[in-house]
Structure 1
Amino acid sequence: MEKPNVVHRQRLKRRARRAMRRLLPFVASLFMATPLATPVGKTMANPTGVEMKMPTAKQMQESFFDQRMHDLYRNLNVEAQGLRYEVFAKAVTGYLNLKQDNKLGDKQLLTVVDFELPSTEKRLWVLDLAQKQVLFHTLVAHGHNSGENVATNFSNENESNMSSLGFYVTRDEYRGKHGRSLKLDGVDEGFNTNALERSVVMHGADYVSEDFIRQYGRLGRSLGCPALPMDQYEQIIDTVNGGTCLYLNGSNPEYSSKYLNEDVAMTAVLGSNQLI
């Protein structure tokens, strides 16, 4: 029989790769549900006589989860907007944990704020995880006592006038001294759980603008609220209200959260096919 030509072989390889991508979710879920028939770490010889260590079920799950996270990051195209993968991955992990804990509503939205970036940069993203779209990418202010252009100090204490790091769940809105505002319920014990008592809310502020940056070299600062531009805050409140996830990232080696449990996030992705 005549050997297949190069084009035919390449076509067969592409078909094989597509088939593997379709089978991977099934294989990962199978590893989740089925005990291994052989001891973990057993090796086997390939045709060349070189021993290869078989991946464990845990390693398969981790690899699959990591691929899904990177796929989502790439599909959202947020790297080009300055959202670093490590911050994105923590935010999504927390979102999945909160979802598993039934603390979020039906909207598949995630708001990420990176206070490691200066206030002169757009450091807030509202992500639609279902549609894989960036709904908003804009400026956001930090607390007055958290720092000048970059936030370096954070607190959960009343009257600290600092921002509080961690995961929040958006609640209902109200009208206060800043006009239309959105309540934020901090869920990280010791880091932001006093947010409601402190009236740490989303609201608009005229000191959050490019004009203010040109005049003063940085944004104005709040009393701890993630304040938004006046021309966008109402649309953002309309979008993220009613039980969506907000993650405020910052440079604090002491910060920890029970919602950064990768095993819970991995179970959510592999068990219910979330994110894709």
Structure 2
Amino acid sequence: MNYNLFSLFIVVLLTSFGRLSNTTKPKDAPVTAIENPASGALAVYKMLDANSFSMPNPESFSEALEGFYALKQKGIIQKDILTLIDFSKSANTKRLWVIDLKANKILFNTLVAHGRNTGEEYAQTFSNAAESFKSSLGFYATGEIYNGKHGLSLRLDGLEKGINDHARERSVVVHGADYVSESFIKGNKRLGRSQGCPAIPVEMNEKIIEVIKDKSCLFIFHPSRNQSAFRKLIS
């Protein structure tokens, strides 16, 4: 082989290899929760970028993440977005998190209301019944946006039979409300309450709905939650 031709071949080969190497993920780049769903919940929890927000409790996050993976595998949800609401916490604290599991980052952390018959400052009792004015626990798939009596709103489909599957017919939706605010807490010693909807601050409403709409996972946690209906769903 001609020496000059052979040299040209080596240069082309090395250049091609360099390009291929640059397309691979750096060894020290963090692995996301979506890339490695087998990761334990604690490992994923430690990878989360809090983004200046508070972190959810590991217990509620672990239960939410387990359900997210199961629902994603079955195709019931489609986005890599997880909304976690922890009703074990005081209504006067920011107990809703929207988490991007692909980027390992908390996008939002804000106040959220529970139903008027679910409790005062703390959520205590829950129901799937119409006109109960109570919140329902468990896993939901987010639905479509519409404009209703509360303005821009997001429909929810409860996934657990007997626990939250009447959410759509009960009009349990995500919407903004004036009574979900720090000023309301200051004047009333507690956050306002809804008719069962996970109502959020008006100024956060459009931003959050736009991110979580159309088949993302929403989970409402409380230590009293019975997981049997969810186990049947994913079995």
TM range (shorter): 0.7 to 0.9
| Aligned partner letter, 2:193 | R
What do residues 36-72 of structure 1 show as CA deviations (whole Å, max 9, x unaligned)? xxxxxxxxxxxxxxxxxxxxxxxxxxxx94x542221
What do residues 4-37 of structure 1 show as CA deviations (whole Å, max 9, x unaligned)? xxxxxxxxxxxxxxxxx99xxxxxxxxxxxxxxx
Higher helix share: 1
Asked if 2 retains the 8 angstrom alpha-carbon contact of 1:208 and 1:219, the reply is yes
Q: Secondary structure at the match of 2:117?
A: helix
Seen in structure 2, the aligned counterparts of structure 1 residues 135 and 219 have a Cα distance that, compared at 3 Å, is same
Are positions 1:93 and 2:66 aligned together? yes
Are positions 1:201 and 2:186 aligned together? no
Report 1:206-221 matches (<5 A).
206-221=178-193
Asked if 1 retains the 8 angstrom alpha-carbon contact of 2:91 and 2:112, the reply is yes
Seen in structure 2, the aligned counterparts of structure 1 residues 181 and 159 have a Cα distance that, compared at 3 Å, is same
Seen in structure 2, the aligned counterparts of structure 1 residues 135 and 259 have a Cα distance that, compared at 3 Å, is farther
Asked if 1 retains the 8 angstrom alpha-carbon contact of 2:145 and 2:213, the reply is yes
Structure 2 unaligned runs (5+)?
1-26, 29-36
Q: CA deviation at 1:251?
A: 3.5
Q: CA deviation at 1:104?
A: 1.1
What do residues 239-258 of structure 1 show as CA deviations (whole Å, max 9, x unaligned)? 00010000001132545343
- Give the number of equivalent residue pairs: 201
Report 1:1-276 matches (<5 A).
65=38, 68-77=40-49, 81-105=54-78, 107-252=79-224, 254-259=226-231
Q: Secondary structure at the match of 1:180?
A: strand
Seen in structure 2, the aligned counterparts of structure 1 residues 260 and 135 have a Cα distance that, compared at 3 Å, is farther
Asked if 1 retains the 8 angstrom alpha-carbon contact of 2:140 and 2:156, the reply is yes
| Aligned partner letter, 2:100 | D
Seen in structure 2, the aligned counterparts of structure 1 residues 260 and 250 have a Cα distance that, compared at 3 Å, is farther
Name the CA distance, whole Å, in 1 between partners of 2:47 and 2:232: 22
Matching residue of 1:269: none
Asked if 2 retains the 8 angstrom alpha-carbon contact of 1:173 and 1:182, the reply is yes
Asked if 2 retains the 8 angstrom alpha-carbon contact of 1:167 and 1:247, the reply is yes
Seen in structure 2, the aligned counterparts of structure 1 residues 73 and 260 have a Cα distance that, compared at 3 Å, is farther
Q: Secondary structure at the match of 2:98?
A: strand
Asked if 2 retains the 8 angstrom alpha-carbon contact of 1:166 and 1:192, the reply is yes
Asked if 1 retains the 8 angstrom alpha-carbon contact of 2:142 and 2:218, the reply is yes
Name the CA distance, whole Å, in 1 between partners of 2:224 and 2:64: 16
Asked if 2 retains the 8 angstrom alpha-carbon contact of 1:165 and 1:250, the reply is yes
Quote the sequence identity (%). Answer: 45
Asked if 1 retains the 8 angstrom alpha-carbon contact of 2:162 and 2:229, the reply is no
Name the CA distance, whole Å, in 1 between partners of 2:118 and 2:108: 24
Asked if 2 retains the 8 angstrom alpha-carbon contact of 1:94 and 1:259, the reply is no
Aligned Cα RMSD in Å?
A: 2.5
Seen in structure 2, the aligned counterparts of structure 1 residues 172 and 241 have a Cα distance that, compared at 3 Å, is same
| Aligned partner letter, 2:110 | T
Asked if 2 retains the 8 angstrom alpha-carbon contact of 1:94 and 1:260, the reply is no
What do residues 124-157 of structure 1 show as CA deviations (whole Å, max 9, x unaligned)? 0000000011000000000000000000000000
